[in-house]
Amino acid sequence: MPLSTRSALVVAVAGILATYILSLLAFRRRSRGLPYPPGPTPSRVFENLFDLPINHSWLTYDKWHRAYGDVVHIKVFGTSLIIVGSMKAASEFFDKRAKIYSDRPRAPMIHELMGLGEWSVANMNYGNVWRKHRRTFTNYFRENTVSKYHPVLVKETHAMLKRFLKTPEDFLGIVRLAFAAEIMDVTYGLPVNDLDNEYVTIAETAASLVSQAAVPGAFVVDLFPILKHVPSWFPGAGFKRKAKVWRALNDVMRTKPFIAAKTAWENGSGSPCVAASMLDELPDGEQRGVEEEVAMNASAVAYAGGTDTTVSAVTSFIMAMAMDPSIQAKAREELDRIVGTSRLPDYNDRAFLPYINAICKESMRWQPVTPLGGARAACQDDVWNGYFIPKDAIVIGNVWSILRDPVAYPEPDQFKPERFLKDGQLDPQVRDPSTAAFGFGRRICPGRYFSDASLYIVVASVLTAFTIEPPVDGNGKPLKMSPDMTGGAISHPVPFKCIIKPRSEQMAELIRDIYIEI
């Protein structure tokens, strides 16, 4: 080997070693010699790459939580991933240290290539633009505001009961239609009468794609952001071609129904709705265009979120009832005593229906809609319980582990509404699943009160009017059911079968008559 080549090689190796040593020293200064939280042992070359789960990752994280403790650390391609698996730790990270853990990690696929980071309050980076969008959304979905939407929720729930009478075997589609119709009515004042409606198709497709893209590590560009710059025709750049199509679809979802609602508002033919109220309150002058864009974005978040999340909770409720029909007997005893059999329940009954409320809480807890919540990014170095959390670490609150805590919820795999009751009333000592089911801290779901109201009226109405049983085999013997759930950022029950039938002919007539009166 020529001397010059050997010299160059020595210089290169020395440079690499010097860089490594300097980075190590810099890390030790930042961490003050403190260790990362415990977790699976990384390899020297690939770190924890092959430990990183892709499908149903919350189940793997839950195993780590039980093996390593409340907070678990892994590292992939130099990025730390922190999994928070207990309510106590989640409160310390996301509530007490909200200034550090309220940002979103960089996710080039969903935030940049698909564009959701530009308009979706759920995906925006923490800051003034996020605050503006969240405040606009929250103004219309506060706890004391949601009651104005009760008539719509009751109307669509009654329509759902009517459809159950006609085609009970299509209950999954009927539930989807009910929630699509109510959110389109509330948000845009637009009617929806079937699942072939273009707005429903757009929203459901967009929600499914976002759920896929939001899973950490699902796309290689999220691990290597520099790949976002490769041309779409380049081998292996299929993610860019997908992102282009998905971005266009999300843009249609964001703009088309808002424009329809705005047109109706301008010509005086529209129905009262969130979009119309936002338009009424827009200022005149130079800022009107900017404010209208915010209103359109906030409306789209309600539209997208409302067509997917509560559907999952209600479907899990139906699955749980089919798996254990004995729960329905207890619910019907309460409903018959408080509501009677000559009408359907309404929101005035809610305070007197503790068992129904317990079923709603258990429906949120048993199979969490968002089992991983939403990933956060540490905006600065931090220390927790003697462990070092580096700046830019991705921090995940494992909702699944928190809602399956066997201390807070004994026999967590079982659907047991009784866990929330004491002496026949809701027990305030039992942790409410909403403390985790809707996320944490400053980024807790702003639509949670609307979702809760939707879930209650459906649970109470369905249990008043129908019985739900497991499917049967050719001999009429009940088939065993299991709670199989899909992966993705939003988890749904895998499609299943059950038998839904009216409690009596009297109840069937009541449903028909009440629906006709609406």
Rounded CA gap, 84 and 390, in Å? 15
Rounded CA gap, 95 and 222, in Å? 27
Strand segments, DSSP code E, in 233-302 are none
Measured between alpha carbons, how far is residue 152 from residues 64, 156, 187, 275, 394 in Å? 44, 6, 11, 15, 39
Q: Tokens standing for 158?
A: 């009654």
Rounded CA gap, 379 and 96, in Å? 15
Q: Angle, to 10 degrees, between the axis of helix 171-188 and the axis of helix 288-306? A: 160
**Residue 376, SS3?**
strand
Q: Give CA 77 to chain center in angstroms.
A: 27
Instruction: Please name the residues in contact with 383: beta carbons below 8 A apart, sequence gap of 6 or more.
Output: 32, 34, 389
Burial readout 170-195 (b: 16 or more C-beta within 10 A, e: otherwise): ebbebbbbbbbbbbbbbbbbbebeee
103 neighbors 379 (Cβ within 8 angstroms): yes
Q: Give CA 437 to chain center in angstroms.
A: 8
Rounded CA gap, 157 and 460, in Å? 10
Say which DSSP state 54 is in.
Answer: -
CA angle 5, 9, 15 (to 5 degrees): 145
214 neighbors 107 (Cβ within 8 angstroms): yes
Rounded CA gap, 25 and 1, in Å? 34
Binding-site annotation, residues for heme: 445
Instruction: Please name the residues in contact with 347: beta carbons below 8 A apart, sequence gap of 6 or more.
Output: 147, 150, 154, 453, 456, 457
Of 268, 299, 313, which Cα lies nearest the Cα of 452? Answer: 313
Residue type, 140: Y
Binding-site annotation, residues: 445
Q: Tokens standing for 368?
A: 């969490």
